[in-house]
Amino acid sequence: MNQKTVVKKNHKRSLQVVFFLFLFLFFGILQSAWPQPPQHLQSFKISTLQKAEFLLLAKKPGEALKVFEEVWKQEPQNSYAVRGIVRSYQALGKLQETVSLLTRYLEEHTRSSSAAYGLGYVYYLQGKFEESRKILNEALSFDRSNALALNNLAAVLAELKDYTGALKRVKEAIDVDPKELMYYRNLQMIYASSGQPDRFEKEYKDLLAGEFHAKAKGYGLILAQQLRQKSFKLYVDGKVDESINTIDTMLKFYREINHEPGIVAGLFSLAVLYEEQGKLELALKKYREVLKINPQHIQAREKMRSLSPKKD
């Protein structure tokens, strides 16, 4: 194997690494924070709860648990902290211990919506759906705006085949917090489970046709994320052209909801794939589009310098 062939293969491998990073890091982790940073990574900051979530992803549930517990201590009605505590115990293989923990807490704080939600969540994870429904309804009697409890109740009702009730509850959760993407995912799953898999996208189109608001963005982000996952699978399977077509469709959704970070990351991914195929003019075009939207995009600027024809 000559040096030129080795360099070419190494270049392709480096492009693949860049593509993987953008599909997972920029489309996945950064997208979980609703308002995206205006500049390329420089202003990206995460909350204490997000740090704990990252610890869970890094398979450090013990460390994550300490952070979640500290947040709950400071914010007793923070149901996200309780959710994190439950998930940390689950990762540690000690899910049953949370039943005793939350039951004792409720004995001292009889109207704690966050603790009642947490107990309902544990019962849901254990498949005890009737017990979960009962305690989640109690959580909502303490705080009707507990969106996590509404969403979890929707999931429980779906398990119990009460799809009408499930849809009502998950849409209430979305009304309370239209920026939380897990509620839209749950809504889509309930539609699929109830034999209405196309209804989610239809509602998205109806929202776009009417007055634009945050709900349309939530629907659109979920649809785009699924196409991102599909494009990655196609790429792994060696179907690069199909992956490119899927990213083009994904970009349509991002443009419809005017989600700039998704547009930038999608264009960059297209540029990387075109570069991998040796279609340098198309790659340069996409890199230029990235920089037109985000002049601070370091990788795109470096790619432009490396690919642009050298002037004498």
Domains of the chain listed by start with CATH number: 1-33+215-312 (1.25.40.10)
Q: With 80 as the cut, is the pLDDT of residue 139 above it?
A: yes
Closest listed residue to residue 71, CA positions, set 57, 84, 58? 84
Report the pLDDT averaged over residues 155-171: 98
Q: Please, what's the b/e burial string for 111-131 (b: 16 or more CB within 10 A of its CB; e: otherwise)?
A: ebbbbbbbbbbbbbbeebbeb
Region label for 205, one of left (φ > 0), alpha (ψ between -120 and 50) or beta (otherwise): alpha
Q: How confident is the model at residue 30 (pLDDT cuts 50, 70, 90)?
A: very low
Q: With 90 as the cut, is the pLDDT of residue 25 above it?
A: no
Report the pLDDT averaged over residues 234-244: 94
Report the pLDDT averaged over residues 121-143: 98
Question: What is this structure's pTM?
Answer: 0.84
pLDDT score of 16: 53
